[in-house]
A and B are shown apart, each in its own frame.
Chain A
Amino acid sequence: QSALTQPASVSGSPGQSITISCAGTSSDIGACNYVSWYQQHPGRAPKLIIYDVSTRPSGLSHRFSGSKSGDTASLTISGLQAEDEADYYCSSCTTSNTLVFGGGTKLTVL
């Protein structure tokens, strides 16, 4: 199975919105609604921020939103804040009942 494709880096200024894409195939994102996004700060374990394509865990800021179109999922962060600077990973189940991650995107808040 091949890793999902994410941009290596994105950046934005405080208050702006950014979108991170996650491209897959008809064997993963295109066939599965268990698409998740994770935020990872340096030296920490990843944290689930979006699951089932667009659902936020309880208590998570509404500034984070997810969507999917065909074989590509997207994460949008609105009203960028300094603490949003982190690495972001997408994941998807596959038709083989395995899990595949994206390569990760480093978000820089300018």
Chain B
Amino acid sequence: QVQLQESGPGLVKPSQTLSLTCSVSGDFITSGHYYWSWIRQPAGKGLEWIGHVYTSGSTNYNPSLKSRVTISVDTSKNQFSLKLSSVTAADTAVYYCTRGGWGTTNVVYWGPGTLVTVSS
């Protein structure tokens, strides 16, 4: 069974960079054909896809966030990470790391989510 766990600071100051890590167990990030994604949800609002990294290492990002987002993989730790720069209060949300189905963008596995608040 694939399990994902987000970790990182729960509080980030405006204009700084938000950094989160997703630890994966039950699977290897470099094996198979999967999309490893970050998705966020502001309190009381809907889901927003941030971006993904494919097993091959290629990445795609939400066009509205592309200039501020980097998703990368640490194969030695079986983790993938999110960096979101120049954050504002609008970036306050629960952030989820996820894995898709075989070769598809259907989001099958979700981490429990971690709340990140942007505030001075």
- Give the B-binding residues of A (Cβ under 8 A): 1, 3, 34, 36, 38, 45-48, 51-52, 57, 89, 91, 93, 96-104
Contacts and interface: CB of A to CB of B under 8 A. Distances in A.
Interface residues of B, number: 25
Nearest to A99: B49
A90 B19 CA distance: 27
B104 A98 contact: no
A93 B47 CA distance: 14
A36 B62 contact: no
Given A1-B62, A99-B49, A93 B111 contact: no
Nearest to A4: B46
Interface of B: 37, 39, 45-49, 51-52, 60-64, 96, 101, 104-108, 110-113
A95 to B, nearest CB: 12
B82 to A, nearest CB: 15
A97 B53 CA distance: 11
Nearest to B4: A45
A89 B47 contact: yes
A51 B46 contact: no
